Amino acid sequence: MAAKTTTGSRKKAPAASGGRGAISIRNVTKIYDPEGVNVMAVDNCSMEIQAGEVCMIVGPSGCGKTTLLNVIAGFHSLTHGEIYLDDELLCGPGKPLAKQGADRMVVFQNGALFPWKSLLDNVAYGPMVQGVLSKSDARDKALDMLAEAGLKDVADKFPGEVSSGMARRAEIVRALINDPKVLLLDEPYRAMDALTKSIMHEALLEMYDRTKVTIFFITHDLEEAIFLGDKAVVMTTRPARTKKVVDVNIPRPRDYKLLSSEEFRILVEEAKDAVHEEAIKAFEAGERELA
């Protein structure tokens, strides 16, 4: 059963986004069947994510985190259970595969900008091809959003001409221009050094403070989870289940000074044992790194 951890009596920072983007994951199981061999990736997993909440999913490699994201995004079907987005059934009995849609935008681990398009054209692309905005409106909006994210001066550059941090930021802007209800991020800063990562964290938090979009963010970095999240959900080793939920009652806006504060350290310590326990189990089970 999921242990609920709360800290102190301080009121939680408001996380409302006008009521959009609440996700309810109910008893979800996912069994892959490669060549007739069953692999249970997610087992009877449940969690509630409030509208406008930053929910961090922490767990060892191979535990089933990406699988869960793929089911929410509509890339993979589920085997049992159901998932709701704002009280609408995304997938469940009779409808195992969620319909993909711009209400759930995914930012992948390895980046997915078109290398042959400028950052501006990458960002403007979605609303333009969907016919939501005209070409010039899409470009105007893209430029505004890139400027808000500190990328105005590099808007005309190609992804290969900017730093990886800038490219990752542009990718999030590209997701946000669609005004999604939910942003799904799969270890987006995994390969970055600590300094770049901390700059990325602040940039993401700024974007979140502006949009209050619901965020489902996968990581195996516990400090990242506590720094960014309204809550951190620690998953078991495969098959993924909710092991522990840590509520992060730290007000926003947050900045890097938080990392050396006592309240931050206390929360990290609280979750550490649970994460460590599962990492050891994963190691003993011989789970491999799965990018």
Distance in angstroms (rounded) separating the CA atoms of residues 198 and 46: 30
Is residue 120 within 8 A of residue 141, CB to CB? The reply is no
Stretch that binds ligand ADP, among 56-64, 129-137, 158-166, 254-262 (CB under 6 A): 56-64
- Give whichever of 173 and 235 is closer to ligand ADP, judged by the CB atom: 235
Outline where the chain has alpha helix (H).
65-73, 119-129, 135-148, 164-176, 194-211, 222-228, 262-285
Is residue 42 within 8 A of residue 67, CB to CB? The reply is yes
Q: Does 243 bind ligand ADP (CB under 6 A)?
A: no
In angstroms, give the least distance from the CB of 111 to ligand ADP. Answer: 17
- Give whichever of 52 and 64 is closer to ligand ADP, judged by the CB atom: 64
Could you tell which of Mg ion, ligand ADP, none binds residue 168, using a CB distance below 5 to 8 A set by kind?
A: none
**Measured CA distances, 269 to 65, 203, 217, 248 (Å):** 22, 25, 20, 12
In angstroms, give the least distance from the CB of 231 to ligand ADP. Answer: 18
Stretch 21-40 residues interacting with ligand ADP (CB under 6 A): 32, 34, 39
Count of residues binding ligand ADP (CB under 6 A)? 14
Helix (H) or strand (E) holding 236: none
Q: Does 65 bind ligand ADP (CB under 6 A)?
A: yes
Closest CA to 49 of 1, 16, 71, 78: 16
Stretch 28-67 residues interacting with Mg ion (CB under 5 A): 66
* 56 beta partners: 217, 232
- Give whichever of 61 and 118 is closer to Mg ion, judged by the CB atom: 61
Interface residue list for ligand ADP (CB under 6 A): 32, 34, 39, 41, 59, 61-67, 238, 290
Interface residue list for Mg ion (CB under 5 A): 66
